[in-house]
Amino acid sequence: MSGVEHLTTEDMTAMANVPANTTLLRVDAAGIRERLLKNAWVADAEVKRVFPNTLELAVTERTIAAVVAVPTEDAKSVKRWAIASDHMWLMPIPDQDSEAGKRTSPKVYEDAAAVLSITDVPYGTKAEIGTYCSDDNVSNALDIVSGMTTELAGRVTKVSATDAEGTTLTLDDNVEIAFGKAENIRDKERVVLKIMEENPTVVYINVRVVDRPTWRAL
């Protein structure tokens, strides 16, 4: 078994669902692959017979691109959801000390702590394991960060995604960037970097309209 970090051995065994008395010649490799691909974490899978008695599972996993704070149905709290770069909802992240958390791979928590947070998404945003995100605000936030090509990409820690026009990025030094829609991303990056270079004490930059930027410094 290779390529597995976010899924546990128990997860893989359950998904493969190989009958105990099945011989290597009779094993349904195509069926196993099909079952694996139904899991949200699995982007691709290869099943190989290695004679005399070994079945190899090679998995390409999706990775967590962001953790999204999705409002609960009663709107009284939020649930943290892992989402992949291709906009697929991977899983709700349980409290690490809970029973579900103890059954969850530690890699999930490690990655979730390292990626950006998407907050302030509107009530009614739906998240379901194995489905692609249909919320334009969350998708816009992901598209902005994935479309960045400069050092800014690695410095974004939080994205406020109330609406696409109002999408705001927060950098690791707490500088806020009103970015807006995932359009003219490279031009917006260039303008932001120039303003930050020329104004070391800047705390807020608005590049929603890239040719008319505004900013505020201390």
Specify the residue for token string 């709700």. 92
Alpha carbon 215 to chain centroid, angstroms: 30
Q: Supply the DSSP symbol for 173.
A: T
pTM: 0.86
Q: Where are the domains of the chain?
A: 9-61, 64-217
pLDDT per position as a tens digit, 1-15: 688 889 888 888 888
Residue 52: the pLDDT is 81
Specify the residue for token string 């902005």. 144
Q: Are 55 and 48 in contact (CB under 8 A)?
A: yes
The pairing of strands 156-160 and 116-119 is: parallel
Q: Which two tokens stand for residue 120?
A: 């302030």
pLDDT per position as a tens digit, 143-162: 999 999 999 999 999 999 99
Share of the chain above pLDDT 70, in %: 100
Q: Is 79 helix (H, G, I), strand (E, B) or coil?
A: strand
Domain 64-217 has CATH 3.40.50: yes
Task: Write down the number of H helices and E strands in the chain.
Answer: 7, 11
Q: Are 87 and 68 in contact (CB under 8 A)?
A: no
The pairing of strands 42-50 and 202-206 is: unpaired
Residues in the chain, total: 218
Rama region for 174: left / alpha / beta (φ>0; ψ in -120 to 50; rest): left
pLDDT per position as a tens digit, 49-72: 888 878 888 899 999 999 999 999
Residue 68: the pLDDT is 97
Average pLDDT over residues 80-104: 95
Please calculate the CA angle 62-67-70 and round it to the nearest 5 degrees. 120
Residue 83: the pLDDT is 98
Cα–Cα distance measured from residue 113 to residue 71, given in angstroms and rounded to the nearest whole number: 20
Q: Is 213 helix (H, G, I), strand (E, B) or coil?
A: coil
